[in-house]
């Protein structure tokens, strides 16, 4: 009895198909007999063509170094579109052979295959299998991509919603979009008929070669890989134009079920599927018996190209994350986080960056020579180009990643670019007090007593708040005498700079630092405290390198940038500029540089000049020798180096002064600037208290370097 009922049900289903088959028959005859007449007779209009609006397919975004070399790729779908002539002929034959052998003979669908599939699918409770033409498969993929785009837009709208009503509306839009996406894979006859109407339009407006190309660019090949070009590179390390018969047969066999026929995960199953494709190609005359035999005798011979996307595993990972976060966190690239991520992962961007591989390699070699990657300590260096703000290198001894001796935090950067809580700058911050003093009219000959310890009072913040007194000491005993501005800078004398900061005004010093872009890692203003001049605030070394680059450029400060241009489909996308401005009078800035030249020739970093180049620098050491810094520059490059334990910035000391990093700076600059011009710093002008033409170390009455400070 049960069997009879089941048979009766099947008969009813088959009768129900009669009307659909009739419609399909009419549709298949349209391209043969001139569809206009037949469509006019179709009273229901159910098989009239409907325009298919294909959204732009998600494309891979690529990050490039300044020399054009590839740093990393980002994608939601790994895809690179290619033209018909960029696909190997054997690949085109293979996909047609296994998916739609009569593709070039029939219209929008293969009627015989479709009827056979419909009958089988109705008998199997509606599961759609086979029978679809390549045109129909292309349509189905487009509809799925379109629905996915609508879901992404709806998610973006929901993320931007601020009011309760706007969120409710956005949630409703998102649900509709998700339902639409689910409908693209729902096995319903109504959906198949709608796909047919789109397919009719596609067949009318594109050639067969164009349709085949579109299909091969949209097809899914597993492992987030879409399109034949990405698939050829992903599995065989070649371009689509270079595919061989066995390679083409492997990829053609995958589109039926990319997960089941995954050559990496299921090589034996994939090999059997590949040979089925080769047999079909032989049957159709696409290859000879000898070619088929030779191809089937080969193993898969995979040469997989790992292309997971993102910064994991790339050579310059910290610079990569800096660029990534610039796009993901900057409203310039989209109003919401979803919009910015969508742009990066689907926009097909070509992102040209400021990274100089020569400088990066030189910096990395230098810091690696000082600290092991497995050490609890970290040594890092950030390089910035004066006059442009371009970040040319970010080198950190601890490698990027998750796990022991690894870090996913870019310690050199601010929080907007993947950084942490920052580091104290130590005496490298005295440059801002020095600049503020000269700008305010103080003379280089300005003298103060320099005892080992001193209590200084009279500090006040920009809001007028009094800050009480401050007891400060030098790191070693002084000679108990007095010093002028130049000698105190060379010796990095804390007691001198405490008095200079008080007299110049803490507010003026803080404003000078702000004019050169200095801020807390979270973007907030630095705390105005008496110890400001000793670098007690946490900062990031990329911004400090940019500040020193401003002095190298005669007071013209440019905020640090990592991206020079972005293009998508040949069109330019605006990128943030360096917002360069004159932060300090050029003559004053050049006098600061002239004084800092003495730090490396006769001061705390004596003996660390760069042969053949004008250079200047400043040492820095935090309390109890916990961390060490060195900031140095030439007319065409500036850098800051730091050494310490980023997980315990106030704990385990490095027991080194900032001068210990000066040799690393020399080595990194010699490598980074090799073959580049060696310009001189500008000649000194007339600045109050200066003596044009003085040579560092010649100020009467001083003995440079005899009063160690906190440098």
Give 439-488 pLDDT, tens digit per residue. 999 999 999 999 999 999 999 999 999 999 999 998 755 566 899 999 99
State the burial class of residue 299 (Cβ atoms within 10 Å of its Cβ: 0-12, 13-18, 19+): exposed
Q: Residues near 464 by Cβ (< 8 Å), separated by ≥ 6?
A: none
Local structure of 286: helix, strand or coil = coil
704 vs 24, residue with greater confidence: 24
10 Å CB burial of residue 153 (0-12, 13-18, 19+) is middle
Q: Using alpha carbons, select from 567, 565, 590, 587 the residue that is nearest to residue 577.
A: 565
- Choose between 697 and 637: higher pLDDT: 637
Beta bridge partners of 619: 630
Using only C-alpha atoms, what is the Rg of the chain?
35
Task: Give the pLDDT of residue 445.
Answer: 96
Give the pLDDT of residue 6. Answer: 45
Beta pairing, strands 70-74 & 61-64: antiparallel
Separation CA 279–CA 293 (nearest Å) = 9
Q: How far apart are CA 158 and CA 160, in angstroms?
A: 5
- Residues shown for the chain: 711
HSE value, Cβ hemisphere, 13 Å, CA-based, for 290 = 0
Residues 6+ apart with CB under 8 A from 168: none
Average pLDDT, the chain: 85
Among the ranges given (193-197, 500-504, 697-701), the one the predictor scored with the smallest mean pLDDT:
697-701
Which three-class secondary structure state does DSSP give residue 520?
A: coil
**Token couple for 255:** 């589109």
125-134, 209-218, 221-230: the lowest-pLDDT one: 125-134
- Rounded CA-CA distance 58/237 in Å is 21
C-alpha 277, offset from chain centre: 40
Query: What is the Cα–Cα distance from 352 to 381, expressed in whole angstroms?
Result: 22
User: What is the DSSP track for 94-138?
Assistant: HHHHHH-TTTTTSSSS-HHHHHHHHHHHHHTTT---S---HHHHH
- C-alpha distance from residue 259 to each of 225, 238, 254, 266, 269 (Å): 11, 21, 8, 9, 11
Cα(first)–Cα(last) distance of the chain, in Å?
Answer: 98
Least confident segment among 149-153, 200-204, 527-531: 149-153
Q: Is the pLDDT of residue 1 over 60?
A: no
Question: Does residue 91 contact residue 236 with C-beta atoms inside 8 Å?
Answer: no
* Secondary structure element (H or E) that encloses residue 173, with its range: helix 164-183
Contact 426, 535 (CB under 8 A): yes
Can you tell me the mean pLDDT for 405-409? 90
Q: In Å, how far are 190, 369, 393 from 362, measured between CA atoms?
A: 64, 11, 9
Does the pLDDT at position 285 exceed 80?
yes
Least confident of 154-163, 167-176, 297-306: 154-163
pLDDT value at residue 150: 58
- Residue 653: other Cβ atoms inside 10 A: 18
Render 23-51 in DSSP notation, one character per residue: HHHHHHHHHHHTHHHHHHH-TT-TTS---
Q: What is the pLDDT of residues 514-532, one digit of tens each?
A: 999 999 999 999 999 999 9
Q: Which three-class secondary structure string do you get for 62-88?
A: EEECCCCCEEEEECCCECCCCCHHHCC
Please check the confidence at residue 233 and state whether its pLDDT lies above 90: yes
Burial class (CB within 10 angstroms; exposed 0-12, middle 13-18, buried 19+) of 180: middle
Q: Which pLDDT band, with edges at 50, 70 and 90, does 110 fall under?
A: confident
Where is average pLDDT lowest: 220-234, 297-311, 344-358, 603-617? 297-311
Phi (first) and psi of residue 59, to 5 degrees: -120, 155
Are 543 and 560 in contact, with CB atoms under 8 Å apart? yes
Q: Which residues of 483-511 are buried (b: 16+ CB within 10 A; e: fewer)?
A: bbbbbbbbbbbbbbbbbbbbebbbbbbbe
Give pLDDT, residue 693: 37
Mean pLDDT across 368-374? 93
Query: Does the pLDDT of residue 15 top 70, yes or no?
Result: no
Q: Span 217-244, mean pLDDT?
A: 94
Ranking 37-51, 411-425, 515-529, 657-671 by mean pLDDT, the lowest is 37-51
Q: Please state, in angstroms and rounded to a whole number, the distance separating the CA atoms of residues 43 and 45.
A: 5
SS3 annotation, 332-394 = HHCCCHHHHHHHHHHECEEEEECCCHHHHHHHHHHHHCCCCCCCCCEEEEEEECCCCCEEEEE
Are the CB atoms for 357 and 67 separated by under 8 Å?
Answer: yes
Q: Give the phi and the psi of residue 545 in degrees, each rounded to 5.
A: -60, -40
pTM of the model: 0.76
Q: Quote the CA–CA distance of 711 and 704 in Å, as a whole number.
A: 14
Q: Are 635 and 679 in contact (CB under 8 A)?
A: yes
Task: Using alpha carbons, list the distances in angstroms from residue 449 to 110, 176, 483, 494.
Answer: 97, 76, 7, 11
The mean-pLDDT minimum among 130-139, 268-277, 590-599, 635-644 falls in 130-139
526 DSSP 8-state letter:
P
Banded pLDDT at 695 (limits 50, 70, 90)? very low
Q: What are phi and psi of 450, to 5 degrees?
A: -130, 65
Q: Which residues pair with 630 in a beta bridge?
A: 619, 641
Per-residue model confidence as pLDDT tens digits over 328-363? 999 999 988 888 988 999 899 999 999 999 999 999
Confidence of residue 77 (pLDDT cuts 50, 70, 90): confident
pLDDT for residue 177 is more than 70: no
**Nearest Cα residue to 406 out of 305, 520, 311:** 311
Q: Which of 211, 244, 242 is nearest to 107 (CA)?
A: 211
Q: Would you say 588 and 344 are in contact if contact means Cβ atoms under 8 Å apart? A: no
Continuous segment of H or E residues that includes residue 230: helix 228-236
Task: Say what the alpha-carbon torsion angle 124, 127, 131, 135 is, to the nearest 10 degrees.
Answer: 170
Pairing between strand 406-407 and 399-400? parallel
The predicted-structure confidence for 259-283, as pLDDT tens digits, reads as follows 899 999 899 999 999 999 999 999 9
DSSP lists the bridge partners of residue 567 as 350, 572
Is the CB of residue 596 less than 8 Å from the CB of residue 571?
A: no
18 near 40, Cβ under 8 Å?
no
Burial class (CB in 10 A: 0-12, 13-18, 19+), 267: middle
Is 360 exposed, middle or buried, given 0-12, 13-18 or 19+ CB atoms closer than 10 A?
A: buried
Q: Given the DSSP bridges, would you call strands 349-353 and 61-64 parallel, antiparallel or unpaired? A: parallel
Comparing 134-138, 171-175, 550-554, the range with the smallest average pLDDT is 171-175
**In 3-state terms, what secondary structure has residue 253?**
helix
Q: Which residue from 438, 600, 425 is spatially nearest to 512, judged by alpha carbons?
A: 438
Res. 409: pLDDT tops 60: yes
């Amino acid at each position: 009895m049960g069997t009879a009922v089941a048979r009766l049900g099947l008969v009813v289903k088959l009768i129900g198909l009669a009307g659909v088959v009739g419609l399909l028959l009419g549709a298949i005859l349209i391209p043969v007999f001139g569809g206009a007449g037949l469509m006019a007779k179709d009273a229901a209009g159910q098989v009239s063509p409907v325009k298919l609006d294909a959204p732009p397919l998600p494309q891979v975004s690529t990050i490039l170094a300044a020399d054009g070399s590839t740093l990393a790729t980002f994608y939601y779908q790994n895809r690179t579109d290619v033209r018909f002539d960029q696909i190997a002929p054997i690949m085109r034959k293979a996909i047609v052979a296994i998916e739609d052998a009569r593709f070039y003979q029939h219209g929008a669908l293969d009627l015989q295959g479709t009827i056979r599939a419909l009958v089988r699918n109705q008998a199997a409770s509606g599961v759609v299998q086979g029978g679809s033409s390549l045109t129909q498969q292309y349509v189905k993929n487009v509809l799925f991509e379109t629905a996915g785009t609508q879901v992404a837009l709806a998610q973006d709208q929901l993320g931007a919603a601020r009011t309760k009503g706007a969120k409710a509306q956005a949630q409703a839009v998102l649900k509709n979009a998700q339902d639409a996406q689910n409908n693209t894979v729902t096995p319903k006859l109504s959906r198949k008929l709608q796909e047919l109407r789109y397919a009719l339009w596609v067949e009318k407006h594109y050639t067969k070669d164009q349709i085949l190309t579109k299909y091969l660019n949209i097809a899914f090949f597993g492992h987030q890989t879409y399109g034949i070009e990405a698939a050829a590179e992903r599995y065989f390390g070649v371009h689509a134009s270079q595919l061989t018969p066995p390679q083409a047969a492997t990829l053609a066999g995958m589109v039926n079920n990319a997960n089941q026929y995954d050559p990496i995960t299921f090589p034996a199953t994939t090999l059997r599927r590949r040979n089925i494709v080769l047999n079909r190609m032989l049957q159709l005359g696409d290859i000879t018996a000898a070619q088929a035999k030779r191809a089937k005798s080969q193993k898969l011979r995979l040469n997989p190209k790992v292309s997971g996307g993102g910064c994991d595993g790339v050579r310059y990972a910290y610079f990569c994350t800096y660029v990534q976060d610039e796009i993901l966190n900057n409203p310039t690239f989209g109003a919401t986080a979803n919009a910015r991520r969508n742009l990066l992962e689907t926009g097909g961007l070509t992102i040209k960056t400021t990274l100089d591989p020569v400088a990066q390699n030189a910096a990395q070699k230098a810091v690696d020579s000082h600290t092991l990657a497995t050490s609890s300590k970290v040594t890092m260096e950030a390089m910035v180009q004066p006059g442009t703000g371009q970040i040319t290198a970010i080198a950190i001894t601890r490698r990027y990643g998750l796990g022991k001796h690894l870090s996913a935090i870019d310690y050199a950067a601010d929080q907007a670019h993947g950084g942490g809580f920052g580091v104290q700058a130590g005496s490298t911050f005295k440059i801002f007090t020095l600049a503020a003093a000269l700008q305010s009219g103080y003379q280089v000959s300005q003298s103060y007593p320099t005892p080992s310890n001193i209590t200084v009072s009279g500090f006040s913040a920009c809001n007028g708040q009094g800050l009480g007194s401050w007891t400060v000491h030098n790191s070693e005993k002084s000679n108990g005498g007095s010093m002028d501005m130049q000698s105190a800078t060379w010796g990095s004398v804390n007691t001198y700079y405490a008095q200079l900061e008080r007299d110049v005004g803490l507010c003026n010093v803080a404003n000078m630092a702000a004019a050169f872009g200095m801020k807390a890692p979270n973007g907030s203003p630095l705390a105005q405290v008496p110890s400001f001049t000793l670098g007690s605030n946490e900062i990031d070394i990329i911004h400090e390198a940019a500040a020193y680059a401003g002095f190298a450029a005669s007071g013209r400060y440019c905020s640090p940038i990592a991206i020079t241009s972005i293009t998508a489909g040949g069109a330019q996308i605006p990128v943030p500029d360096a917002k360069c401005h004159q932060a300090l009078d050029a003559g004053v800035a050049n006098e600061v540089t002239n004084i800092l030249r003495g730090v490396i020739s006769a001061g705390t970093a004596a003996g660390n000049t760069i042969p053949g180049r004008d250079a200047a620098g400043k040492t820095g050491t935090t309390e109890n020798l916990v961390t060490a810094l060195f900031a140095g520059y030439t007319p065409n490059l500036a850098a800051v180096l730091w050494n310490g334990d980023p997980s315990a910035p106030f704990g385990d000391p490095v027991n080194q002064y900032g001068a210990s990093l000066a040799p690393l700076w020399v080595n990194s600059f010699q490598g980074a600037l090799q073959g580049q011009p060696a310009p001189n710093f500008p000649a000194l002008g007339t600045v109050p208290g200066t003596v044009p033409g003085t040579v560092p170390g010649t100020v009467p009455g001083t003995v440079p370097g005899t009063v160690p400070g906190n440098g």
